[in-house]
Structure 1
């Protein structure tokens, strides 16, 4: 089984993500917060573009990865606490803006490409690859919460508060990490269902 040579979907997703980044950088709510938020986007998106010639993920992996890239970039423009997401808050009867929860849930989707890469490269069997993907996301989630805390203390003031995005929730960090973990578990269910590890690396 070979990688699908039709690159239409990855190309469309790359255009959508790039367009979202450009839009996000136009008059962001807090320019300093935007810069801080867009750095992790660049750290993920740029390597995907550069390495595309040598390693192509499955279309499912690119779809999963694009979710976070787009949601996080939108959050960078407005700040996560201020994204126009009132309709969902009204739907569940909450005063809190839950857009950041969706973004954190989508971070967990990266367990899929992590597991796919490890399994397709033959570094370990699919079960261990999935377990590593889950543990990697949980570790990244914890590390990112520490970075958020560090930046909030360093920046201080309104920019620090907006970057932290806790909205007064004392359990915000723990709930964000839970959302990351649930997203990872969800994506891994698809990983074992789709079996992308059966794809050959030849193109």
Structure 2
């Protein structure tokens, strides 16, 4: 019964994410920017679907992945610098920039839970200090890789609008550092707040 409930929940999450991806592909601000932002999420979904029977993650991990995929779809549709709600917040509170990009990188820190699960289930690591440190390190490494990819997009597509929209610096020379710091903050909070729940859910995956 529990297994059937989990499967139904996972299917619901998949349908929810696919609906957002389809919506995001309808008249985005720029299709190249949309592809750069959303196709990684699509690739991740394909991998998750292909490996579902052999390596099914906990529902918590799938919820986190769904949140990230939805956030990427919204960012891809509008570009991270032009999400309407955060433009309104920028104007209403006289902020220096549209902060959706900041929120996105903070949320990406939650992916540390998925990393933690893979390490626990597919490596010799056990729960404890070193699991947290290695999970955080991998989360930061992924964040840094993403910043390198953003930088390369400007180098490769130099002078084109898509590189600016994908990078989303909004004139902030410390944007990459902010992004990685927020990713780390999100990851630390996710480990502190969700590890106990994650451990309970993992007991059913053994």
Same fold (TM over 0.5): yes
- In 1, are the aligned partners of 2:115 and 2:139 still within 8 Å (CA)? no
Moved more, 100-109 or 192-201: 192-201
1:115 is matched with 116
Distance in 1, Cα, partners of 2:89 & 2:65: 23
* Superposition RMSD in Å: 2.0
Distance in 1, Cα, partners of 2:39 & 2:65: 16
Secondary structure (helix, strand or coil) at the match of 1:29 reads coil
Q: Superposition pairs for residues 80-95 of structure 1, below 5 Å?
A: 80-84=80-84, 85-90=86-91, 92-95=93-96
- In 2, are the aligned partners of 1:107 and 1:183 still within 8 Å (CA)? yes
- Say whether residues 1:33 and 2:37 are aligned partners: no
Distance in 2, Cα, partners of 1:191 & 1:30: 36
- Say whether residues 1:199 and 2:172 are aligned partners: no
How far does the alpha carbon of each residue in 1:108-147 deviate from its partner, in whole angstroms, 9 at most, with x for none? 1111011122223462112233322211110011111011
Structure 2 unmatched ranges of 5 or more? none
- In 1, are the aligned partners of 2:10 and 2:62 still within 8 Å (CA)? yes
1:90 deviates by 4.4
2:107 is matched with 106
Distance in 2, Cα, partners of 1:28 & 1:105: 23
Q: TM-score, normalised by structure 2?
A: 0.89
Count the aligned residue pairs: 201
1:87 deviates by 3.5
1:57 is matched with 57
| Cα distance change of structure 1 residues 117 and 169 upon mapping to structure 2, 3 Å threshold | same
1:164 is matched with 167
1:187 is matched with 190
1:8 deviates by 2.4
| Cα distance change of structure 1 residues 138 and 54 upon mapping to structure 2, 3 Å threshold | same
Distance in 2, Cα, partners of 1:18 & 1:133: 28
Q: TM-score, normalised by structure 1?
A: 0.90
- Say whether residues 1:147 and 2:149 are aligned partners: yes
| Cα distance change of structure 1 residues 89 and 22 upon mapping to structure 2, 3 Å threshold | same
Structure with bigger RCO (C-alpha 8 Å, 6+ apart)? 1
